[in-house]
A and B are shown apart, each in its own frame.
Chain A
């Protein structure tokens, strides 16, 4: 089944403790992206990647890091999480650019206390 898999689905952590949210897609998509979704603010792009070793900032990149060492994986790294990063996170992939339509993962609910 073609899908984007995120792990974990739910995570509660403490301020300052580094964490990684994994994202993997099995569709050989070139384009991958991370979004956060907050009430009243909607979906906002954190980072995106057009291909292996090519990443760029989205609208809200502060406090996040990403890497794209393999085509299928695009992990999101929070080096020192803070409470304002409590959010619902989505990974998405597309064959070639956002205009082809994203396939989204099921989301990761992160709470930072």
Chain B
């Protein structure tokens, strides 16, 4: 079983929709959870990070972590065409071991 599972998509939604992106993991050692966004031909950029179970909100983005189920989510409200990108979850164990999901491609149509 892979350490981090993420549906590759693509996920296609109309503008204004609520988007749910998810990752599951198997290693209980993961303690920090991040979401990165990667536009085509660009490096990933950090969107959000959290280390506890529960929700963390930042504008239109909400990160949710359920450690008991080993499940993390990123919700995007009022999605915009500019949100079209690949979203990568990233999970940290220890000081430097960051494991990335393979990414979900999101397409938001006007």
Contact = CB atoms under 8 A, between A and B. Distances in A.
Which of A31, A45, A105 gathers most chain B CB within 10 Å? A45
A64 B45 CA distance: 25
Interface stretch (A11-19, A35-43, A76-84): A35-43
Contact of A42 (B88, B92, B95, B96): B88
Given A42-B88, A48-B96, A99-B32, A107 B46 contact: no
Interface of chain B: mostly helix, strand, loop or mixed:
strand
Contact of A102 (B44, B95, B101, B103): B44
Given A92-B43, A104-B45, A97 B102 contact: no
A92 B88 CA distance: 15
Contacts of B49: 99, 101
Report, as a range, how many residues of chain A touch the other chain: 20 to 34
Interface of B: 32, 34, 36, 41-46, 49, 88, 92, 95-98, 100-103
Interface of A: 4, 31, 33, 40-43, 45, 48, 50, 56, 90, 92, 97-99, 101-107
